[in-house]
Structure 1
């Protein structure tokens, strides 16, 4: 049924991915001549000291990964009749989340290495929402396994 605890956790995964898409992921302040960088799911923007955008690069693949993860979580909610498939979708979703974290991390490290800065910048709420989504996904898998064990124990009694 849709009103199970794991469905709530899967919905929270989708909400967390929505936060990742809408909020800032990373910010680097203190580059040369007062310039700063900001990474969102769609763009990497370079700002001058007055706060105006100097350069903007598309990072569409981060938004595509986050959207796919949220969409897969929504699909997984409606797979409640087949708990095995639901667990498989959540495992695949976990792999994509790890890939998303690695992509953001490698993107930010690439920027820092180009600039030659020792400071790694600040990871913002959008980045931490990915990690929160990973925790929600693990909790959903735990409750799905718990349901599966309960169904198997009831079948054994019959």
Structure 2
């Protein structure tokens, strides 16, 4: 049911994780070197020559997370199944955060030097998605409690 508040959070997870694929994640500039991380590659520009490191894993895991959130959205009939799906999605989102940290902080700072880079919006979107995921789980569990209370109330009568 789209009118449930957790549906809004699940939709926002889908939007955020899809946006990670298209948004810049990290950018850095050092001595004659500029590096930019997106979900598909870490581009290194050394003035006259350039190089790229394949980071398609970020795009794949982020896209998978968006699909899992969409699947959770349409699984509204079974609330406990939704909670389990959201747990899987939390693992996927943390994997995206880990990949972002690895390619941005570890690989990027190796290229441009320490303290010469900054995280862009694509890094923070998975953090928002984790918050949305926990909020969706909270409201799903609240709905489950209401249903169980109403069933146990009917059984007592």
Normalised by the length of structure 2, the TM-score is 0.91
Aligned with residue 34 of structure 2, among 33, 36, 40: 36
Aligned partners of 1:24 and 1:125 also within 8 Å: yes
Other-structure match for 1:148: 144
Alignment length (residue pairs): 154
Aligned partners of 1:17 and 1:130 also within 8 Å: yes
Aligned with residue 82 of structure 2, among 78, 83, 86: 86
Other-structure match for 1:22: 22
Aligned partners of 1:112 and 1:120 also within 8 Å: no
Q: Secondary structure at the match of 1:3?
A: coil
> What do the CA deviations read for 1:87-115 (whole angstroms, capped 9, x no partner)?
00001100111111111112223324634
Counterparts of 1:21 and 1:9, CA distance in 2:
19
Shift of the 120–147 alpha-carbon distance from structure 1 to 2, 3 Å rule, reads: farther
After TM superposition, what 4+ stretches of structure 1 lie above 4 angstroms from structure 2?
none
Other-structure match for 2:125: 129
Counterparts of 1:53 and 1:62, CA distance in 2:
25
Aligned partners of 1:44 and 1:59 also within 8 Å: yes
Normalised by the length of structure 1, the TM-score is 0.91
Shift of the 15–61 alpha-carbon distance from structure 1 to 2, 3 Å rule, reads: same
Counterparts of 1:63 and 1:116, CA distance in 2:
23
Other-structure match for 2:99: 103
Other-structure match for 1:12: 12
Stretches of structure 2 that go unaligned for 5 or more consecutive residues are none
Aligned partners of 2:17 and 2:66 also within 8 Å: yes
Stretches of structure 1 that go unaligned for 5 or more consecutive residues are none
Aligned with residue 45 of structure 1, among 43, 46, 61: 43
Give how far 1:117 is off: 2.1
